[in-house]
Amino acid sequence: MVSCANHPGVDAVLKCRKCGRSFCLSCLEEVGEFHYCFSCLKSVSRDARSVYTGKLTASLIVGTALCVAIGVMIFLTQLDNFVALVNALGGGPDAMKTFLAPSMLATLAPVALGVAMFTFLAIGLVQSKKWALQLAVVLGLMVIVWRLVAIASGSKEPIYSPLILIIGPIVVMAIAYINRENLRA
Ligand SMILES: [Zn+2]
Ligand SMILES: [Zn+2]
């Protein structure tokens, strides 16, 4: 019988998965389905942490760049609407009522959903919150369905608008999926 590497004379029961040395049960730690000795356990958890940090950093960079780019594009495509909103705010209740016509709401609603989606994506990544990423995915699905319905019903909006509001949510979902196991509830 092989002795524990730490305790001569004590029978070893298992091998450390990393270094392969044999140990008694009190010298091993169970991680999932594997056993590690205490010195290997430290480097294993350090490796796991750095993989996690790397993945999160990459997602943060991609997510931030995406949010900024799409934010700028949404702002530019909605520039006329922003000007109209400012004018309506200065023009009293009647001007506001005219501004908030159903056609305008139909244009602005997916934009508002898209902005909310990116906001929750950012919260989810920065704060490691699973619920925020899940909310971002749900909002993303709503935006996509909204855009597909608009395209199917012959919306005459410029091509970049549907592209932004379909590709954007898909990228958000991909980022959420990549980070799904690293987040707290
Ligand atoms: Zn070991
Ligand atoms: Zn031992």
pLDDT digits (tens, 9 = 90+) for 70-107: 767 766 777 777 788 788 888 888 887 877 777 777 67
Tell me, in angstroms, the distance from the centre of ligand 2 to residue 34's CA: 17
Confidence bin at 15 (pLDDT 50/70/90) = very high
Which residues, other chains included, contact 106 with Cβ-Cβ below 8 Å and sequence gap of 6+?
150
pLDDT for the residue numbered 157:
62
Instruction: Tell me the domain boundaries of the chain.
Output: 1-32, 46-182
Ligand whose nearest atom lies closest to the CA of 39: 1
**What pLDDT score does 156 carry?**
65
Q: What is the DSSP letter of 12?
A: P
The residue with tokens 């001007």 is 95
What average pLDDT does this structure show over 29-51? 84
The rounded Å distance from CA 41 to ligand 2 centre is 15
Token pair in block for residue 158: 């410029």
Nearest 10 degrees: CA dihedral of 80, 82, 87, 92? 130
Residue matched to tokens 């501004």: 99
| pLDDT value, residue 17 | 93
Ranking 44-48, 128-132, 151-155 by mean pLDDT, the lowest is 151-155
pLDDT at residue 41 greater than cutoff 80: yes
Task: Give the global pTM.
Answer: 0.53
In this predicted structure, the answer to whether residue 21 has a pLDDT above a threshold of 60 is: yes
Task: Report how far residue 33's alpha carbon sits from residue 88's, in angstroms, rounded to the nearest whole number.
Answer: 64
Query: Does position 59 have pLDDT exceeding 80, yes or no?
Result: no
Give the count of alpha carbons within 13 A of 67, CB side only.
Answer: 19
- The ligand that comes nearest to the alpha carbon of residue 15 is 1
How far does the centroid of ligand 1 lie from the alpha carbon of residue 82, in Å?
Answer: 62
Q: How far apart are CA 26 and CA 47, in angstroms?
A: 23
pLDDT-above-70 percentage for the chain: 84
Q: Tell me the pLDDT band of 158, cut-offs 50, 70 and 90.
A: low
Q: Is the pLDDT of residue 159 over 60?
A: no
Q: Which ligand is nearest to the CA of 25?
A: 2
Q: What confidence tier does 183 reach under pLDDT thresholds 50, 70, 90?
A: low
Ligand closest to CA 19: 1
Distance of CA 104 to the CA centre of its chain: 30
Cα of 10 vs centre of ligand 1, distance in Å, is 17
Predicted confidence at residue 173, as pLDDT, reads 74
